[in-house]
A and B are shown apart, each in its own frame.
Chain A
Amino acid sequence: MPHLKTEEMIMNMGPQHPSTHGVLRLELVTDGEVVKSITPHIGYLHRCFEKHGEELTYPMIIPFTDRLDYLASMNNNHAFNLAVEKLLNLEVPRKVEFIRVIVAELQRIASHLVAIGTFGADIGAVTPFLWTFRDREVILNLFENLTGARMLYNYMWPGGVARDFPKGFREEIGAFITYFRPKIRDLNNLLTGNHIFISRTAHVGVLPADVAVNYNCTGPVLRGSGVKWDLRKNDPYSIYPEFEFDIPVGQGTMGTLGDTWDRYYIRCQEMEQSLNIIEQALAKFPVEDATDVQAAVPRRIKPPAGEVYARAENPRGELGFYIISDGGTKPFRVRAKSPCFVNLAVLPALGKGIMVSDIVAILGSIDIVLGEVDR
């Protein structure tokens, strides 16, 4: 009956919806269970980060960077400090670099754990969510011991970090590594290899490499499409060149290259690589070095006039800070290039002719944090 035209229905998914990972609104045009198009509407969590940046001194901006991607505060701190240090031409003590890399990689694991857990919950498996949060709790406790905060640390400062590792802290991290390795295996047994999970994710939301590159996707979304691009290797910063680690890329193991399963599995593999990096960093850690971690922090930060762009590999992709200084104590302009915003932009391209359930899977695999999308 070709003359029968079914009516299309417009649905608002969000801003209050369990699977939009925050206050995101997706406008769906649906025909039954099939989605014709997706339009993301953002801005519900806009907090004027960039405008705040123009009104505050450099150290005062750091707590605001915590609140961008609030699941990866350490990495945000790191990226922002890279920019300020580049602007100041500041040499960072070697011990500080080690501390930074260790906490940044721990934060990456914590962030990926949330991504994997919520992704599982989106697909309908609730147990992995609680397992990953149990393991993330260990990392948060470590950070609490180190910084006094559990989510928003304000830990890295230009030229240094707020506090040195407490006594016995490196042993605790070592204990975490031995605790956590088998947990990744458990997680793979429970979720990654599950037949229903694979049938829900393989061949779903296939993002070809050229589309990913054209949309400027970064992080696991780009690597899931098989593009080997990781700033820790391709544009090294800090002391990452000293460590040996692999960059996992999507292989299309369970379905098509660049499908939802690939993007998911990248995160599982990256957690292992982060553990490798932390292990090496702990082994090479300058134990004898008694430098004060705040020694290189300038008393007054007043960079020369100029502009700078620095970027770092965050758990969700490339976070860049573009700072213009007019020679004062406050930046003239701060701009954050957010990976989540860019990755979210690819959703409409993926969301044509899919099922409503697939949106949830794709959005979960893109893994956005609305705090960073809206800034």
Chain B
Amino acid sequence: MHDLVLKTLGIGDLLAWLGVPDGSLVYPVVASVFPLVFLIIFALLAVYAERKVSALIQNRLGPMETGPWGLFQTTADILKLIQKEDITPKAADKILFFVAPVLVFTGTYASLAAFPWSSGFVGADLNVGIFYLLAISSLVVAGLLMAGWGSNNKWSLYGAVRSTAQIVSYEIPAGLAVLTAIVTTGTLSMNGIIRHQEGMWFGLLFQSPFLFVAFIIYLIASLAEVNRTPFDLPEAESELVGGYHTEYSGMKFAMFFLAEYGNMFIVSGIAVAVFMGGWLTPWGTEPSVLMGVVWMILKSLFFVFFQMWLRWTLPRFRVDQLMYLCWKVLIPIAFACLIGQAAVEVYL
């Protein structure tokens, strides 16, 4: 991707003009800043969108005061968070408390390395791309557990234990659902999966009933993985005060927030890449590199909106119901889909 970013944005020329030699470390560093910038801008706009979507659903206006239609509200919030005192509770485990938000954010940021923005526009088109994405996004569990334990707060601990149980469980149906698609595509590479869907309307989604069900399962499981309603138990405000981030303030809290919104985009992106043709046009042709980015982001944003929509409509599950849904409903169905799709591939 480096070459592409450098070429498209003209940064390469700029650096060359500044006298940076070819093959210098500066190039990859500059290129890797791009996803970070995207993540921050996305989080800013997503928080704003979340507020506006909730306002729409709840017959309110949402933020209106800061800038036109309140557009700068999130910017103002970030400025406020930067200025806040960074409190570490006396009884907290200092190291864990500090590392946790960093680790959570690392998982999110690292996922973007294999994120298929467009044809040829992918940080590292690994031959195990989807595997890497699913694995690295689980890093968040360690961060949450550290945050909950390190805070030395009973409510935080509850939130951390809940989220660990939840994310670890829901990775199974999510993984099985993705496997169902991989059975068809025959490759784990992100761009390979997407290229396989060329010429299909809306990608794999409507290719077989098994894939459609697998897609729904992935959608549900992905909600649980990013702790969104109806699976927002780890941070269940009305039960656990704030869950694992009860004790966090200032920029550390902002890191959790950034990671949460980043993860929303990433799970949506995976859903889009695996089941809905990724950067292909909805009618299955290959767009230009730049239009590919546009299609990828547009499709992902639709699912981000879908997550917000659900959040402001549904109540929250209880812990045991959450586990019941995962182990007794989603996993058997996901297995059935996997076997069914495999049979389709072999016999049809």
Contact = CB atoms under 8 A, between A and B. Distances in A.
Interface stretch (B89-97, B308-316, B340-348): B308-316
Given A124-B316, A194-B314, A11 B154 contact: yes
Nearest to A199: B321
Contacts of A11: 154-155
Nearest to B157: A9
Q: Which residue, of B232, B236, B320, has the highest number of chain A Cβ atoms within 10 A?
A: B236
B232 A17 contact: no
B241 interface: yes
Chain A interface mostly helix, strand, loop or mixed? Answer: helix
Interface string A113-142: 000000011111111001100100000000
A19 B154 contact: no
Nearest to B233: A357
A127 B58 contact: yes
B308 to A, nearest CB: 12
A196 interface: yes
Interface string B222-243: 0000000110110011111100
Given A18-B241, A196-B314, A357-B239, A130 B59 contact: yes
B313 A19 contact: no
Contacts of B240: 356
Interface in A42-97: none
Contacts of B313: 125, 127, 190
A127 B239 contact: no
B84 interface: no
Interface in B50-73: 54, 57-60
A194 B239 contact: no
A125 B310 CA distance: 10
A200 B241 contact: no
Given A122-B238, A125-B314, A356-B239, A131 B59 contact: yes
Contact of B315 (A17, A18, A196, A355): A196
Nearest to B162: A33
Interface residues of A, number: 29
A356 B314 contact: no
A197 interface: yes
A358 interface: yes
B241 A124 contact: no
Interface string A198-229: 01100000000000000000000000000000
A356 B59 contact: no
7 contacts: A17-B241, A125-B315, A125-B316, A355-B319, A357-B236, A357-B319, A360-B239
Interface of A: 9, 11, 17-19, 33, 120-127, 130-131, 134, 190-191, 194, 196-197, 199-200, 355-358, 360
Given A19-B239, A122-B238, A127-B312, 20 more contacts: A19-B238, A33-B319, A120-B315, A123-B238, A123-B316, A124-B232, A124-B315, A125-B314, A125-B316, A126-B54, A126-B312, A127-B54, A127-B313, A190-B313, A194-B314, A199-B318, A199-B321, A200-B316, A355-B318, A357-B319
Interchain residue pairs A-B with the least CB separation, the first 10: A124-B316, A130-B58, A125-B315, A123-B315, A19-B238, A124-B315, A357-B318, A122-B238, A197-B315, A196-B315
